Amino acid sequence: MTSELAKGLDGILVTESEMSYVDGEIGRLIYRGFDIEDLAEQATYEEVVYLLWYGDLPSEAELEHFSSRLAEERVLHQDVLATLERLAEADEEPMSALRTATSMLSAYDPEASYTTGEIDLSREKGMRILAKVPTILASFHAYREGREPLDPDPSRSLAGDFLRMLSGESGSSLAGETFDMSLILHADHGMNASTFTSIVIGSTMADLYASVTGGIGALSGPLHGGANQEVIRMFRDLEDSEHGPVEWVKEMQKRGERVPGFGHRVYRVKDPRAHILEAKAVELAEEGAEGRYIGYAQAIEEYLTESGLVEKGIAPNVDFYSGVVYDQLGIPFDLYTPIFAMSRTAGWIGHVIEYQEDNRLIRPRARYVGPKDVEFVPIEQR
């Protein structure tokens, strides 16, 4: 047994997976062999979920059946809606509300107690979870705005129906296409913190509700899922200042502050997902969406690239442009990370199912560095 310490498990292999692969040196992301650029441009989110869960792209008939099943499962039980209403009244954080409601879903699952590890049943349960997450978020937002949530529309795609339920309006075809693409880009990304959390829970043979709830908890931390909010917060502060974007970043650097949205634990070059979202942000701006933040982002990226930061392996990640796109789509600022969770639920579920096919309880060890041979002193003598 090795005694080498790998803090943060950097470089440690814990399992094998066929789902996604990240090449950080050249900036490549693939899902089951398909480049993310091809999937983002040519597939739908439902197709990508099917690919991740079943291993192949669906036929037309398979996609129709799968999409219909997802659409059928979007409706929430009234008890879950009532809980979301109370959480909104209590001014709960959206990620915490999502965590609570997702855990609650198991109470209304007709197969909640089936034996974990049965792949087909796991996929059915996963479908029920994935379908309901958009409805949870849209309903919670409706309640905190003081209105009744809209019922899901099974004739719409998951992405399109979420935007409709969130805002009450259908939106443009470009908006729906862009949001669907953003869900594809975030659906999976190798062995990240939240995926690992979900797998650890799944390795105990706990059910998918426990695994997804754990994934949401891990993603809620600012070191994992909140960077796009930090980017938009920076842009908002910049907007209220007298500085231009380059001057603003120079001042940040003088203070020794990190520029949000730059740098990644795996990528040493620009995140391929950032390339895709940057292009969509430009397209949205050209269609008429408010485009001030895309200008900020591109100016800052150009400056930091010319200053040599990217050459050092600190390049734009997906969060640098995802927040820009969400802002253009009119999505509330504090829903950015929950939307990340909405998309990544597909990856969490897929990885848990894959891992449980050849399950082994994940049980690492910690190096003990505390005292030994301490003499116990009775309480009356302390």
Summarize the chain as % helix, strand, coil (round to 5). Answer: 60, 5, 35
Active-site annotation holds for 264 = yes
Active-site annotation holds for 243 = no
Catalytic residue selected from 109, 153, 224, 275? 224
CB 29 within 8 A of CB 270: no
Active-site annotation holds for 319 = yes
Please choose, from the candidates 63, 17, 24, 20, the residue with its C-alpha nearest in 3D space to the C-alpha of residue 44: 63
Beta bridge partners of 35: 30
Q: At what angle do helices 318-328 and 292-306 cross, to 10 degrees?
A: 160
For every residue of 165-178, DSSP letters joined together read HHHSS---HHHHHH
Catalytic residue selected from 264, 271, 327, 351? 264
Catalytic residue selected from 180, 319, 327, 351? 319
- Per DSSP, helices labelled H in 191-291 are 193-203, 208-219, 227-239, 245-254, 272-287
Q: How far apart are CA 129 and CA 117, in angstroms?
A: 16
Q: How far apart are CA 42 and CA 34, in angstroms?
A: 11
Residues tagged active-site: 224, 264, 319
